[in-house]
A = this chain, B = another copy of it.
């Protein structure tokens, strides 16, 4: 590991992950978020489906709204009621959620979790989430490097020409 890279590792604590983790690393926040992906929108739904205490639910929903992951809005059918919907930022957590779920299925429980996420077009289960190169090749253990900015090949013209 070069000196530059070692230097960069020092900055890990300030990098982008802890913010993401704060948003979804806590057990209840995570279960609420997963409920949102699975179609729950109302306080009462979360409460009864997840069996979560009302004060904890209220607190976690407020934090997810504060983080811009859920939006609190009046129900279209009955404007006195409130619903919680995933924002674009919240929806962007989908690959993370799916990857984590698939990992749990493969390495922890050993069985496929239900409900199953399928392609709406053909109702076939989605593929495993993978890490890929800029041109779409699946990258495995030996195919990846951590690099400092000086070591990265990034000519936009080369990328555009491919």
Contact = CB atoms under 8 A, between A and B. Distances in A.
Contact of A16 (B13, B19, B105, B135): B105
Contacts of A75: none
Nearest to A97: B17
B133 A127 contact: yes
Given A116-B146, A118-B145, A146-B117, A100 B17 contact: yes
Copies in the complex: 2
A144 B117 contact: yes
Interface stretch (A28-36, A56-64, A76-84): A28-36
A77 B40 CA distance: 54
A111 B12 CA distance: 14
A95 B138 CA distance: 11
A129 B9 contact: no
A95 to B, nearest CB: 4
Contacts of A141: 91
Chain A interface size range: 35 or more
A94 to B, nearest CB: 6
Interface of A: 1, 5, 8-13, 15-21, 23, 25-27, 30-31, 34-35, 38-40, 49-51, 68, 89, 91-101, 103-109, 111, 113-137, 139, 141-149, 151-154, 159
Given A12-B31, A13-B50, A95-B95, 7 more contacts: A1-B39, A16-B105, A16-B111, A17-B34, A25-B26, A124-B153, A127-B134
